[in-house]
Chain A
Amino acid sequence: MAASREEIRAGLAEIVYEITGVDAKDVQLDRSFTADLDIDSLSVAEVVIAAEDRFGVQISDDYIKNLKTVGDAVEFIQRAGAVA
């Protein structure tokens, strides 16, 4: 079954917490990984790797470079066909 936006957001929040220690409840759609959540680019790259593994998708390199908010990531993962 396809994953809902909320399921993907919650999954990302768990990953972000695991990797950076940022509280999962702060990982909301409108938040920027770097500006709002203060996550450095290396950690964003780790989050992407973990998200690809968890949701069974591949995030293109071009998209990763332009990735800003949690919502951007959720939308991409959903369109790429993430399964719950």
Chain B
Amino acid sequence: MTNGDRVRVVVTGLGATTPVGGDAGATWSGLLAGCSGVRALTAPWAADLPVRIAAPAAIEPAKVLERVEARRLDRTCQLALVAAREAWADAGHGASGASGAAAERVGVALASGMGGVTTLLNNYDTLREKGPRQVSPSALPMLIPNGPAAVVGLEIGARAGVHAPVSACASGAEAIACGIEMIRSGRADVVLAGGTEAAIHPLTLAGFAAMWALSRRNSEPERASRPCDRERDGFVLGEGAGVIVLESARLAAGRGARVYCEAAGHGISSDSYHLTQPDPGGHGAIRAMRQALADADLRPGQVRHINPHATSTPQGDVAEATAIQEALGAAAPAAAVSCTKSMTGHLMGAAGAVEAVATVLAVHHRMAPAAINLEAQDEKVPLDLVHGQPRRLPDGPFAALSNSFGFGGHNVTLAFRVTG
């Protein structure tokens, strides 16, 4: 089958709950306004940590959900459910199932990088302090990494398959790639895809701090996440969820659905270089981007917007910039690059999904958000980084890429394209 004969996949619904907004609309407005979601951690448990900043969800998910519903869900599941409900309704699908598709044709691909890590740790505290009889019978179903996918699958009545690919900070993007493939391969007509993460806990902060991966700009939380700036010193741990509804173009057209853009392709590669360090040559990232372009039938010159992985670590941002230049060649300067992690922090397993939501909206509205905290661009990142004000993207057809990379050497690139 050539790419031209393939089932086309479009995006019909969006949902997000992030450090800058409690839904996709508020998140998008926050990104365009340059709002930082990074906060000082003032709780007593944070007092002795070397890193006392993070990017918590702007809206408490437990306050959006029913009380009883919330208490049986880990926070990753809560965030996923909030974003999934928004996306599903946004796509025009109903509480009783998908519009125009049987349950057997509806799937879920929703990932988390860490799973229910706070449930695990809190129940371990209970085990130590109160003994085994007080460990919650809900602990295990709450902490399994496929929990969010399963909970959302139950919510929408998905019976074509429920998946939760785990690839650290590339998980959310990999889930979306998985969703695209479910539709292309004929297994499903509609897939709710995305990622969720809720791992702001002293253990994760201490662990990432021990790796020197996190910014220690404790006195200036809003200035801490600064991808590609010379003064960057690590990422800021964030939490949230992003979900998109993927649909076969035929079903979307048949039911008259609003289409944001085409989910045109994806590329996935692995570094086999180091467990946590990026390959300085960015070879795996280059392959992921090239595969995404080939998969989407795109030439480099058609890529006019990129939402990079760019987490604000000294090494990672440079390796990615090198990879983008190599993958796009002479066309690299034509892509407006929006480092949205400067506002959201790094949502780990949710990052690729929230950034996919941002990329879809950038394509749909033809507007690239501007990074904040880009005061002195690192000369080793010679890309066209949007800062100051959001930038208008071209009229007419164009495409955008969203990159996500994860510990373990996972690289995922998603390609979205203007439709119509």
Interface string of A1-42 (1 = CB under 8 A from B): 000000000000000000111000000000000000000001
Q: How far is the CA of A58 from the CA of B68 in the complex (A)?
A: 25
- CB pair B138–A46 under 8 Å, yes or no, is yes
Residues of A within 8 A of B137 (CB): 42, 45-46, 49
Q: Which residue of A lies closest to B71 (CB)?
A: A19
Is A62 an interface position by the 8 A CB rule? no
Q: Which residue of A lies closest to B130 (CB)?
A: A53
- CB pair A21–B67 under 8 Å, yes or no, is yes
Is B185 an interface position by the 8 A CB rule? no
- CB pair A42–B134 under 8 Å, yes or no, is no
Interface of A is mostly: helix
Q: Which residue of A lies closest to B137 (CB)?
A: A45
Interface string of A39-59 (1 = CB under 8 A from B): 000100110010011000010
- CB pair B134–A49 under 8 Å, yes or no, is yes
Total chain B interface residues with beta-carbon distance under 8 A: 10
Q: Which residue of A lies closest to B126 (CB)?
A: A49
- CB pair B71–A42 under 8 Å, yes or no, is no
- CB pair A20–B68 under 8 Å, yes or no, is yes
Q: How far is the CA of A52 from the CA of B134 in the complex (A)?
A: 9
Question: A17 → chain B, closest Cβ, in Å?
Answer: 9
Residues of B within 8 A of A49 (CB): 133-134, 136-137
- CB pair B134–A46 under 8 Å, yes or no, is no
Question: A8 → chain B, closest Cβ, in Å?
Answer: 19
Q: How far is the CA of A49 from the CA of B68 in the complex (A)?
A: 17
Q: How far is the CA of A45 from the CA of B138 in the complex (A)?
A: 9
Q: Which residue of A lies closest to B134 (CB)?
A: A49
Is B141 an interface position by the 8 A CB rule? yes
- CB pair B141–A42 under 8 Å, yes or no, is yes
Question: B122 → chain A, closest Cβ, in Å?
Answer: 14
Is B66 an interface position by the 8 A CB rule? yes
Question: A28 → chain B, closest Cβ, in Å?
Answer: 20
In the complex, given contacts A46-B137, A52-B133, what are 18 additional A-B residue pairs having Cβ atoms less than 8 angstroms apart? A19-B68, A19-B71, A20-B68, A21-B66, A21-B67, A21-B68, A42-B137, A42-B138, A42-B141, A45-B137, A46-B136, A46-B138, A49-B133, A49-B134, A49-B136, A49-B137, A53-B134, A58-B133
- Can you list 20 A-B pairs with a CB-CB distance of less than 8 A? A19-B68, A19-B71, A20-B68, A21-B66, A21-B67, A21-B68, A42-B137, A42-B138, A42-B141, A45-B137, A46-B136, A46-B137, A46-B138, A49-B133, A49-B134, A49-B136, A49-B137, A52-B133, A53-B134, A58-B133
